[in-house]
Structures are given as structure tokens and as C-alpha cells.
């Protein structure tokens, strides 16, 4: 009898949410298939006709893809896919009523952690028994939307089998990478994040942390069985300062030593800059930590308080400087544009980014704060009457009209620079990643050191140009040049930005090619010496 289950999810990297669902289903005897949402509706329809699944689940995590899911699910129903359709993920869990109204072809929503709920739902579909009394399910009943009692969360995350994965992809050179989790949830209360609301509504603990020995066991499995050398932890906040779990980092690093992995693997984590200290991060660096994603978010004390970060600029800079001294790379999140942004605040934040990035340690980048569903920011904007758009696409205007024009213009000018996969920021990050991997796994020759220095200079030069240009344009827009239709001067900025972008991009590509060639020579020498 057919025991196929289809899970449609974004698979740009490992989708751990879908992976855990699939592993639990597999352990119960089902045959789940994870289908990449980015394949497109025609290919997904073709695969579903081939699989003939009992049930198809859709991972609706982000609100800004809601139209694409609506279009896909409508297309699949019209394409004669008649199996049970369910949805899960952050957006589906917190806004299940909204998603039923917007996507009427869904049969159910699996709310919050879905491993056990989806398994029970699949069991009911397989045995053709009633599923509408299951805990953790929402559905329509005679035109009304019903949400059953929530299922208690699994406290011990290590009870789940390791997530099912597609074949691992390469990261840099011949090194494969995988994503994984040390825990779920976050104890922080940032006003722009719905993580805490998600855990609050699910009636579970705010944060659940895996045992360090089980995390290392998964890493050992991926290293030996799947050839993985680099590990990207996707925790919103890695348990650097884990409450009630004192010594987690020490135990984790000890386990890496016991498994003889500490000199063979590299890993990346996410955390806050005020969680960085010399002792624990030096220990982690000596056991393979090479990269962090830092939630910096704002460069002013007033802005950090407004974002409810419970952090100060001085603490942020202290953590960043520790990372630089230890030689640990970092990327970061920074919301240069927020609902309260003014030109005065903008200049203060540009000054902060100059302190952090002018040395070329990391490329300058920025985002606009988006009012994600069930966040404090969304609720405040709604109360103020500033929320605009439609469900799934909420946005806002800035208080100063000229700031709206400035944001639109600079975003357009730097779109390729900041957001394109082959844009300058992405390329500079990859160049830096090449340096990290080569330094860890290969011999750093004087020639490679010279190329690394050249790349750092490119990062520094592009950062300084970026910051200077953003400030100059800010002063122009604040002075009303946009309203005077003085397009000639603005167009000259566009041309200069494109010219600098193209020049540094070509220089960086050439540096990467030279660095890779030197590494290939090292590999040949190693083969000859054997």
C-alpha cells in the first residue's frame, strides 16, 4: 500500500523543519519526500502525480511568500491533486485563520511543532479514520475555523531522530556543509521578532536545548557518513550563555575532542554581540568555530532600547572587538531603516558601521525592519495607523517624507551591491570564507597571505565608499534635492556606484581565482609527495 508523504519546502539549504518531520515519518514506516518549493509549480505537480502521496504538507514559514503558496496550491488542485493538503510553520501556526481565508484549498493546519501531530494526521489519513479530534490541528467545520487544543511540546529534542537530509552541497573548495540545531527557541524579547510569541502561544518552554553530546554525535555522523566538514548552526541564539545549562559550551567542546573532530571540522553559530567573551570564544575557536552571525541590529542606545534588545552600544562593540582579536569572522544583521528612522538617527548609525567595518573585517550591509506578523513592531504600527499593504505584505512609511524617497533611491542604487547572489557583498563574503577555509585546511603561503590582504583592502575600500555615499545622499535628500527634481546629480551617483561595484567585483574575482590556483598547486604537491 502507498505510504508516500510529500513535504513542499524551501530547500536552498537543508530545511531542518521539514527534515525532522520526514525523519519522524520515516521511523514510523512512511516514505516522505521533500520537494523543493523553488522547483516551480509545473515540476511540483509532476512529482506529486508520480508520488501519489497520502498527504502533502506545505512549509509556510514566512509571510512574504504567501501569494506564491496560494498560487501553487490552487494550481495543484486544478491539476487534480486530490490528497489531503496541510500547512505548517511559523506563519501557518500563528495566523491559521488568515491562511485558511487566503488559501481555501487547505484541509488542515498543523500548529507549532509538527513532528507528532503530522505523524498522527498521516496515520489517520492512511487508516481512513477521523482526524478532526487530533491535538494541534486547525481546520474548517461548516464554514467555521476550528483550532483544537494544542499538543504539548516535546521537551527533550533528542528524542527526535536526526533530520532527513538531501545530499549535501559544497561550501568552499571541496568541503561539504550541513545545517543543524543545538536547540529551539530564544529567551530574548526583541520587538521585531515573533520567536517568543511563537513559543508563548505554543504553551511550551521559551527555549529548549539539546544535550551537547547528542549534537556532537550528529556532527560525527554527518562527518563520517556524509563527508561534511562545515556545520552551520541555525539556532536563533546558540547556547553560549544557556540558562540552567551551565558548562554547555565546555561539554560541547570536550565532546568534539573525544570524537577527534576538533581539528577536522569548522562551524558557525548565531548569537548576540553582548554574549561574546574571551574565554568561551577562544575555547570554541580552538575547536573549530570560524564564523558568527551577530544580531547587532542598531548602533545607538536609544535604538537598541526601542528594539527591546536589552543591550548597549558599548557592550556590542566590546563583543565585536573580542572577535576581531581572536580572529573569528562575523556577519551581522543591522536594520539601518526602522519605523522611527530620521536623518539624525541615520547618520549616527552610519558612524557606528564605520567603527565596525572601516577596517575591512566584514562587508557593510543593511536591511529595512519589516513588521513581521505577531511582533511588537507590527502591533505598534497597527495601533498608530501606519501599517499599510495586505496580509503577508505589511509595510510602513517613514515619518519624514524625504526619508521614504532616500530609502527608495539608495535601495535601488545598491540593490545589486547588497542583495544579488553575485553582488559585491555576497562576493566579498565568499572571498573571506575562502580565506577561512584555506587557513584551516591548507598551508598559508606568503602568496596566499598577500591575496588575503588584498581582499581585506577591497572590503575596507568598498565599505568606506558605501558609508560616505550613503551619508552624502542623506544630506542631499534631507536638503530637499529630490523634491527639486535635480536628477542629474543623483544619476551621477548611480553611475559611480555601478562603476565602483564592477571594478571591485572584478578585482575580487581575480583574487579568488589566484587563491584557488595556489591551493590546487598545494594539492598536486601533496599527491606527488605521497
8-40 pLDDT, tens digit per residue, is 999 877 789 999 999 999 999 999 999 999 999
Show which of 90, 119, 147 is a domain's final residue: 147
The residue range of the domain holding 432 is 400-530
**Residue 348's CB: how many other CB atoms inside 10 A?**
17
Q: In this predicted model, what pLDDT tens digit does every residue of 128-156 receive, in sequence order?
A: 999 999 999 999 998 899 999 999 999 99
Phi, psi of 168 (to 5 degrees): -70, 145
Q: Is-contact 183 212, C-beta < 8 A?
A: no
- Rounded CA-CA distance 492/315 in Å is 39
Residue 205 falls within a domain, yes or no? no
The residue-averaged pLDDT of 448-467 equals: 96
Give rounded-to-5 percent helix, strand, coil for the chain: 50, 15, 35
Residue with cell 565599505: 463
Residue 164 lies in a domain: no
- Reported as a pLDDT band with limits 50, 70 and 90, residue 79 is very high
Q: Which of 105, 130, 147 is the last residue of a domain?
A: 147
Q: Which of 238, 249, 137, 233 is nearest to 185 (CA)?
A: 238
Of residues 191, 186, 476, the one with CA closest to residue 335? 191
Cell 506545505: give the residue: 58
Question: N- to C-terminal Cα distance for the chain?
Answer: 54
CA 115, distance to chain mean position in Å, is: 22
Q: Do strands 84-88 and 55-59 pair parallel, antiparallel, or not at all (unpaired)?
A: parallel
Per-residue confidence band for 196, with pLDDT thresholds at 50, 70 and 90: confident
Nine-digit cell string for 113: 511543532
pLDDT for 263 equals 92
Q: How confident is the model at residue 235 (pLDDT cuts 50, 70, 90)?
A: very high
Q: Which tens digit of pLDDT belongs to each residue from 427-442?
A: 999 999 999 999 999 8
Main-chain phi, psi angles of 330, to 5 degrees? -150, 145
Residue 273 lies in a domain: no
- For the chain, how many structural domains are there in total? 2
Q: Which residue has the cell 577527534?
A: 260
Q: How high does pLDDT run on average in the chain? A: 93
- On the question of pLDDT at 339 being above 90, the answer is yes
Domain boundary (125, 147, 169) is at 147
At 524 the pLDDT is 62
Give domain status of residue 128, yes or no: yes
Q: How large is the average pLDDT for residues 491-519?
A: 94
**Do the domain assignments include residue 175?**
no
Judged against a pLDDT cut of 60, whether residue 527 lies above it is answered with no
pLDDT single digits (tens) 377-408: 999 999 999 999 887 788 999 999 999 999 99
SS3 398: coil
Could you tell me if residue 28 is inside a domain?
yes
Give the pLDDT confidence of 345-377 residue by residue, as tens digits: 999 999 999 999 999 999 999 999 999 989 999
Kindly indicate the confidence band of residue 200, based on its pLDDT and cuts at 50, 70 and 90.
Answer: confident
State residue 470's pLDDT score.
98
| Residue 77 covered by a domain | yes
Residue 34 pairs with which residues in a beta bridge? Answer: 7
443: its cell numbers: 598551508
**Is residue 517, in this structure, part of any structural domain at all?**
yes
CATH number at 67 reads 3.40.50.280
Give dist(CA 304, CA 287) in Å, integer: 32
Amino acid at each position: 500500500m502507498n505510504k508516500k508523504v510529500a513535504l513542499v519546502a524551501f530547500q536552498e539549504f537543508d530545511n531542518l523543519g521539514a527534515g525532522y518531520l520526514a525523519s519522524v515519518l520515516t521511523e514510523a514506516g512512511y516514505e516522505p519526500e521533500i520537494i523543493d518549493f523553488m522547483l516551480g509549480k509545473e515540476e511540483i505537480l509532476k512529482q506529486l502525480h508520480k508520488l501519489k502521496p497520502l498527504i502533502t504538507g506545505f512549509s509556510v514559514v514566512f509571510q512574504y511568500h504567501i501569494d506564491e503558496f496560494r498560487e501553487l496550491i490552487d494550481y495543484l488542485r486544478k491539476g487534480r491533486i486530490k490528497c489531503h493538503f496541510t500547512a505548517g510553520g511559523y506563519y501557518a501556526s500563528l495566523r491559521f485563520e488568515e491562511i485558511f481565508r487566503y488559501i481555501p484549498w487547505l484541509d488542515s493546519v498543523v500548529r507549532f511543532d509538527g513532528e507528532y501531530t503530522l505523524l498522527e494526521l498521516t496515520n489517520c489519513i492512511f487508516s481512513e479514520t477521523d482526524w478532526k479530534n487530533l491535538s494541534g490541528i486547525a481546520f474548517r467545520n461548516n464554514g467555521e475555523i476550528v483550532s483544537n487544543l494544542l499538543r504539548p511540546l516535546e521537551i527533550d529534542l533528542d528524542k527526535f531522530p536526526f533530520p532527513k537530509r538531501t545530499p549535501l552541497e559544497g561550501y568552499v573548495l571541496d568541503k561539504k556543509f550541513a545545517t543543524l540545531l543545538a536547540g529551539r527557541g530564544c529567551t530574548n524579547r526583541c520587538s521585531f521578532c515573533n520567536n517568543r510569541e511563537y513559543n508563548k502561544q505554543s504553551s511550551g518552554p521559551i527555549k529548549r536545548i539539546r544535550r551537547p553530546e547528542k549534537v556532537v554525535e550528529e556532527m560525527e555522523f554527518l562527518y563520517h557518513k556524509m563527508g561534511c566538514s562545515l556545520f552551520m548552526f541555525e539556532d536563533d541564539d546558540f547556547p553560549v550563555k544557556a540558562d540552567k545549562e551551565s558548562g554547555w559550551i565546555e561539554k560541547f567542546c570536550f565532546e568534539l575532542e573525544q570524537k577527534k573532530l576538533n581539528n577536522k571540522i569548522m562551524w558557525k553559530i548565531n548569537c548576540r554581540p553582548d554574549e561574546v567573551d574571551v574565554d568561551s570564544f577562544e575555547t570554541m575557536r580552538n575547536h573549530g568555530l570560524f564564523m558568527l552571525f551577530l544580531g547587532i541590529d542598531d548602533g545607538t542606545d536609544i535604538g537598541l532600547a526601542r528594539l527591546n534588545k536589552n543591550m548597549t552600544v558599548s557592550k556590542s562593540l566590546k563583543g565585536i572587538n573580542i572577535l576581531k582579536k581572536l580572529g573569528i569572522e562575523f556577519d551581522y544583521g543591522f536594520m539601518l531603516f526602522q519605523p522611527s528612522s530620521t536623518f539624525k538617527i541615520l547618520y549616527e548609525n552610519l558612524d557606528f558601521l564605520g567603527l565596525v567595518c572601516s577596517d575591512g573585517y566584514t562587508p557593510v550591509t543593511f536591511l529595512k525592519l519589516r513588521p513581521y506578523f505577531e511582533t511588537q513592531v507590527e502591533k505598534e504600527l497597527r495601533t498608530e495607523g501606519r501599517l499599510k499593504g495586505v496580509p503577508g505584505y505589511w509595510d510602513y512609511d517613514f515619518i519624514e517624507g524625504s526619508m521614504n524617497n532616500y530609502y527608495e533611491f539608495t535601495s535601488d542604487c545598491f540593490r545589486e551591491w547588497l542583495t544579488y547572489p553575485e553582488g559585491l557583498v555576497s562576493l566579498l563574503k565568499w572571498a573571506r570564507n575562502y580565506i577561512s577555509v584555506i587557513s584551516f585546511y591548507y598551508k598559508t603561503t606568503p602568496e596566499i597571505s598577500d591575496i588575503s590582504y588584498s581582499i581585506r583592502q577591497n572590503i575596507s575600500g568598498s565599505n568606506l565608499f558605501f558609508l560616505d555615499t550613503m551619508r552624502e545622499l542623506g544630506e542631499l535628500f534631507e536638503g530637499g534635492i529630490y523634491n527639486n527634481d535635480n536628477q542629474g546629480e543623483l544619476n551621477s551617483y548611480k553611475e559611480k556606484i555601478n562603476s565602483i561595484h564592477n571594478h571591485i567585483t572584478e578585482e575580487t574575482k581575480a583574487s579568488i581565482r589566484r587563491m584557488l590556483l595556489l591551493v590546487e598547486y598545494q594539492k598536486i604537491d601533496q599527491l606527488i609527495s605521497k
